[in-house]
Amino acid sequence: MPEITAHHGLFKDTNLHVDDTGGPGRPVVLVHGWPLSGEAFAAQIPALQGAGYRVITYDRRGFGRSNKPSKGYTYDTLTEDLHTLLETLELTEVTVVGFSMGGGEVARYFSKYGIERLRSVVFASAVPPYLMQDEGNPDGPLTKEAAEEMTAGLTKDEESFYDGFTRDFFSVDGELKVTEQQRQEALALCRQADKKAALACMEAFGTTDFRDDLLRVTVPALILHGDGDGVVPFEGSGKRTHDALPGSDLHVIQGAPHGCNVSHADEFNQALLTFLQK
């Protein structure tokens, strides 16, 4: 699939790498987590395509095979990239699946662009409603001290940071829930990330408040989360998002880490397919 160019006024045009299975099926757009790429959905694409869906993934600006500009890493800009993709491919009746950081683009989309192109959405291991813990958000699962530690670690040594991060990404209580090969594949995707983009996006997903965005979600929604997620804990994120969306579906994967789409791919895929068939 050729690249799509996102235009942002004062920002330089940014080419986004897109993979599109094509076909007449209803479109499902998968928005990846930080600091990976669209390739992180390798376990989902065959299952969705086999069920007759048109599956589209793309690499967020600054990551994977997309351009890596020096600016443009706020959620407003990142969500504009998603909207550009939907417009360029002329997609309607879309289900958008936002994994981890990608859940932020899904939430912000409703505030910026409404529901015209959307059929439904999925928040998978997702960061909304608001990660950062402060006086106005005491249930936020990310403390300022932990955020500062992450920033310092990535700034100092990318290789060491990503090695530790991928272990946390796929572990529950210190036990790795994927094969070492699967962890190494994720680590290889991390290494494609631009450091400046990774730091800017770390700040974005940690400090952006999506509570007002969630109030605008009026299409069917699925919250899909592992109960052993130590990166974006269920109680402070998925559960709160489910509570904020009356009528939303909830599927909690028992014993699953943050990267549940890899560690528990069969259950993840089945929950997603069941929701899509409604």
Residue pLDDT, tens place only, 93-133: 999 999 999 999 999 999 999 999 999 999 999 999 999 99
0.85 exceeded by the pTM?
A: yes
Per annotation, catalytic residue among 225, 229, 248, 264: 229
32, 242, 251, 258: which is the annotated catalytic residue? 258
Fold topology of 4-276: Rossmann fold (3.40.50)
How far from 22 is each of 26, 96, 118, 187, 206, CA to CA, in Å?
10, 16, 18, 28, 34
Give the Cα separation of 6 and 191 in Å (integer). 23
Question: Any catalytic annotation for residue 258?
Answer: yes
In this predicted structure, the answer to whether residue 10 has a pLDDT above a threshold of 50 is no
Residue 90: both structure tokens together: 């002329």
| Domain edges within the chain | 4-276
- Specify whether the CB–CB gap between 228 and 256 falls below 8 A: yes
CB neighbours of residue 173 within 10 Å: 8
CA atoms within 13 A on the CB side of 59: 26
Arithmetic mean of pLDDT over the chain = 95
* Confidence label for 8 from pLDDT (cuts 50, 70 and 90): low
| pLDDT tens-digit readout, 145-188 | 999 999 999 999 999 999 999 999 999 999 999 999 999 999 99
CA 71/CA 261 separation, integer angstroms: 30
111 labelled catalytic: no
DSSP strands (E only) in 125-232: 171-172, 175-176, 221-226
Note the pLDDT of residue 12.
Answer: 60
Of the residues 37, 66, 100, 248, only one is catalytic, namely 100
pLDDT of residue 2: 62
